A = this chain, B = another copy of it.
Amino acid sequence: MADTNLQKLSSNKTFNGELIKYKFKSAALGGLDAQFNLYLPPQSTVVKVPLLVYLSGLTCTEDNGAQKGGFFEAASKQGVAILFPDTSPRGAGIPGEDDDWDFGTGAGFYLNATNPKYSKHYNMLTHVTIELPQIMEAAGLPIDFKRQSIFGHSMGGHGALTLYLASATQQYKSASAFSPISNPMKCPWGEKAFKGYLQGGIEEAKLRYDATELIARRKDPVHILIDYGTGDNFYIQGQLLPENFLNAARGAGHDESHVRVRRHEGYDHSYYFISTFASDHVLYHAGFLKI
């Protein structure tokens, strides 16, 4: 049983629900210890609740979104659980993985590595989409895994959009992102990650890890919300490229009712931006999750 492996590290009551930190040995991450936070809203003591997955950005852990996101008031009211995975394997011991803040530890990019140097450990795609739901289900946690949505920030926004768009099983009902890396094969962060983690580099990434490429090929209806700020230095530097995603979406026939991209004057890349629109995002997903 997978649940025998799940260890509860701490629990904090918040907005009448519980935020619980867990640890387990992750097969997807090559047997390393992995941690995650799970918010269970008060309704979960009575019924199984839907799950919203929050993917954090570069340098983050499972704690940043939980501590600074401001998601729990809306999640408590709406009866939605929120899962906060980590952003990479920890302690793989691969030479150089701790050298840069935008590659390796803290920068898993929510893909499965095919470069043999990283492929044993850097499999955050499988970790998030398959392993964590299995572990939680085996442990009997009160979640209805048929109702999942996904959102994230920056690298985690890239993760949310690509995991949503590339899912063969339509695992997620909706996706949203704060300041996402929207066209990673055309920005320095994405190029570095894809060339490092993927044997096929950019060409391999193009098929499943670039949100702009994926939306351009997608024809059936989607449910996507994106927020970004004009005062975001990474937006200004061309790391995020949300206009590319928007143009590709409109070009593929996805209108405002299916792909909404909102530009906010003066907001930056920080959690002060995220928390401002946190309730908006939870409510957006609740609309799809509570059906």
Contact = CB atoms under 8 A, between A and B. Distances in A.
A269 to B, nearest CB: 10
A276 interface: yes
Interface stretch (A65-73, A129-137, A139-147): A65-73
Main secondary structure of the interface of A (DSSP, over half): mixed
Contacts of A19: 272
A275 interface: yes
Chain B CB count within 10 A is highest, among A13, A15, A16, A68, for A13
A276 B14 contact: yes
Chain B CB count within 10 A is highest, among A19, A70, A229, A273, for A70
Contacts of A14: 267, 272-273, 275-276
B68 A268 contact: no
Contacts of A30: none
A116 interface: no
A10 B19 CA distance: 31
Contacts of A15: 275-276
Interface in A49-71: 67-68, 70
Interface string A123-165: 0000000000000000000000000000000000000000000
A272 B68 contact: no
A276 B15 CA distance: 5
Interface in A234-291: 266-268, 270-273, 275-276
Contacts of A221: none
B12 A273 contact: yes
A231 interface: yes
A273 B229 contact: no
A210 to B, nearest CB: 29
A288 to B, nearest CB: 24
Contact of A68 (B68, B270, B276): B68
A13 to B, nearest CB: 5
30 contacts: A12-B268, A12-B270, A12-B272, A12-B273, A13-B229, A13-B231, A13-B266, A13-B267, A13-B268, A13-B272, A13-B273, A13-B276, A14-B267, A14-B272, A14-B273, A14-B275, A14-B276, A15-B275, A15-B276, A16-B276, A67-B67, A67-B68, A67-B271, A68-B68, A70-B70, A70-B73, A70-B275, A72-B272, A72-B275, A72-B276
